[in-house]
């Protein structure tokens, strides 16, 4: 699959921009075509079978450690040129980056992304995506890759909105959730079966200390 062209004026991208400007988060239930979603899911499972997904750590730098009592997913970062489906997705994300910069002047310079597989029972406790000593992560993006997901399967992303009101997002394949990294506490609830996603962040140049 070649990288999919997408217009910077595509309605779905503009909806994301409007939502972020108005409330700080966006949920698009039909973001990706089914074919690309299935190819990305197959790529994630292939890497998992090959043992390429590793237990995710918490913290950063020398303080990183695997703590299954906080998060239990297995991940692998993706890079351009590794697979056609991943390149197609990265191309779409670059279009979203351009639209966010054009409309909201966010100064986003790059996008980092990894596959995440939560086995049955795994979870991620409540947290925010920005590190205390690094403000470069600006916008979080989660794309779900699960087919045939039903309410009893669990695995919801729970966003804590203004007033600490909880909003649950089912991890249905092809749907996208975008939110401001430093402003949105969230957690991943346990699922009854494997839960697949692509999780990423748009980053800006970090502020230099005085």
Q: pLDDT at position 62, please?
A: 43
pLDDT value at residue 9: 82
Nearest to 195 by CA among 155, 150, 138, 136: 155
Rounded to an integer, what distance in angstroms lies between the CA atom of residue 190 and that of residue 184? 20
Q: Are 111 and 202 in contact (CB under 8 A)?
A: yes
State how far the Cα of 40 lies from the Cα of 19, in Å rounded to an integer. 26
Q: Provide the β-strand partners of residue 172.
A: none
What are the structural domain ranges in the chain?
Answer: 11-204
Just give the CATH number of 11-204.
2.60.120.620
Residue found under tokens 């009592």: 69
- The CA–CA distances, whole Å, from 80 to 40, 91, 107, 206 equal 14, 9, 21, 23
**Closest residue by Cα to residue 93 from 173, 8, 195, 180:** 8
User: Of 118, 127, 95, nearest to 193 (Cα)?
Assistant: 118
Q: How many residues in total does the chain contain? A: 210
Q: Give the pLDDT confidence score for residue 148 in this predicted structure.
A: 94
Which pLDDT value is given to residue 171?
A: 97
Global pTM?
0.91
Task: List the structure tokens of 121.
Answer: 């029972």
According to the model, what pLDDT value does residue 2 have? 45
Mean pLDDT by 10 residues, the chain (210 residues): 65 96 96 95 98 81 58 95 96 96 96 97 92 83 96 96 96 97 95 97 74
CA–CA dist 113, 78 (Å, integer): 6
């Amino acid at each position: 699959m070649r990288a999919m062209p997408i217009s910077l004026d595509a309605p779905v991208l503009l909806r994301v921009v409007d939502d972020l400007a108005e409330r700080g988060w966006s949920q698009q239930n039909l973001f990706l075509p089914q074919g690309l979603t299935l190819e990305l899911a197959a790529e994630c499972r292939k890497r998992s079978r090959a043992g390429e997904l590793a237990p995710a750590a918490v913290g950063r730098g020398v303080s990183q450690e695997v703590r299954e009592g906080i998060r239990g997913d297995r991940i692998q970062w993706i890079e351009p040129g590794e697979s056609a489906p991943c390149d197609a997705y990265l191309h779409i994300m670059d279009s979203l980056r351009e639209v966010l910069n054009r409309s909201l002047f966010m100064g986003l310079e790059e996008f980092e992304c990894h596959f995440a597989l939560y086995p049955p029972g795994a979870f991620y406790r409540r947290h925010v995506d920005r590190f205390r000593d690094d403000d470069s992560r600006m916008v979080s993006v989660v794309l779900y890759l699960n087919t045939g997901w039903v309410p009893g399967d669990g695995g919801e992303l729970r966003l804590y909105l203004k007033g600490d009101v909880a909003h649950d997002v089912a991890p249905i394949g092809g749907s996208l959730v975008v939110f401001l990294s430093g402003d949105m506490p969230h957690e991943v609830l346990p699922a009854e079966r494997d839960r697949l996603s692509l999780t990423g962040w748009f980053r800006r140049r970090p502020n230099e200390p005085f």
